[in-house]
Amino acid sequence: MMAAMDRSVAWRSALIFGIALAIVAVVLALALPRSLFEDWGWLAGPAAWAACALLAGAAMGLAALPVLAGAALSALPSLAAVAVDQHWAGAPLGIVLFGAWCGWIAEKRRLAV
């Protein structure tokens, strides 16, 4: 049986998350040298992912800790893509998974009230 989710929160959080990631990626790519990402990408990428997730979660009124847990889980496809040198290949799936997670925690919160 599939877990219930708030579809409105799911698609809106995925949209906010995806747009925030795109903006951060473009700004960082324009502002910083490529060598920084080659040396510090292992830190910069997850930090940007988490920050954008927190932004999306806050916009949806979701608690930070569950949002960060969802961000970590949704990053796994991107981690797998990085492992095979296809950095951005996992991001679209990760964005969708993050949105679904947010929809699930929003529904869980609604049912608990």
What pLDDT was estimated at residue 43?
85
Instruction: Give the distance, in angstroms, between the CA of residue 31 and the centroid of all CA atoms in the same chain.
Output: 22
Angle at 71 between CA 54 and CA 10, to 5 degrees: 80
What pLDDT was estimated at residue 2?
55
| One-character DSSP codes across 1-46 | -PPP--HHHHHHHHHHHHHHHHHHHHHHHHHS-HHHHHHHHHHHHH
Distance CA 3, CA 22 (A): 29
What pLDDT was estimated at residue 1?
43
Q: What is the pLDDT along the chain (113 residues), one digit of tens a residue?
A: 457 999 999 999 999 999 999 999 999 989 988 888 878 777 888 999 999 999 999 999 999 999 999 999 999 998 888 888 887 888 999 999 999 999 999 998 888 77
CB 57 within 8 A of CB 64: yes
Distance CA 89, CA 69 (A): 21
**Nearest residue to 88 via CA among 13, 4, 16, 29:** 29
